[in-house]
Amino acid sequence: MHRGKSHQQHRSGARTSKAFVDQPPQSSSLTDYDRAHIALYVRLLDAAEEAAEWTEVVQVLFGLDPNRERERAHRVYDSHLARARWMTEHGYRDLLRAGMH
């Protein structure tokens, strides 16, 4: 399984890296990976809503070069976007329940 780091810029302007796997863990409930990557999922959903080109998104959010690793870059993008969409339909419930305790 490939691992990489996504680069995120905080409001302060500081850039940080967060490790990612090529395909997020698939589960019927929220995972630790999901919790750690919520901001990434939101950015993916925003990019999809704006019809951003997937090649640009994967470069910006994951630091992958789709010209060098097109198949891997597309797999990373597709799998994370699918998980982000799952979060909007199902995973958010686990977040809400956790926030109520």
Shortest CA distance to 39 belongs to which of 6, 13, 12? 6
Q: Is the torsion defined by CA of 67, 73, 74, 75 positive or negative?
A: positive
| AA identity, residue 91 | G
Q: Using CA atoms, how far apart are residues 64 and 72, in angstroms rounded to an integer?
A: 9
101 residues of the chain, pLDDT tens digit each:
455 555 444 433 333 356 899 999 999 999 999 999 999 999 999 999 999 999 999 999 999 999 999 999 999 999 999 999 999 988 777 777 766 55
pTM: 0.78
Distances (CA, A) of 19 to 1, 5, 6, 49, 71: 13, 4, 6, 24, 19
Q: Using CA atoms, how far apart are residues 18 and 15, in angstroms rounded to an integer?
A: 10
Structure tokens at 4: 């990489």
Structure tokens at 61: 């959010």
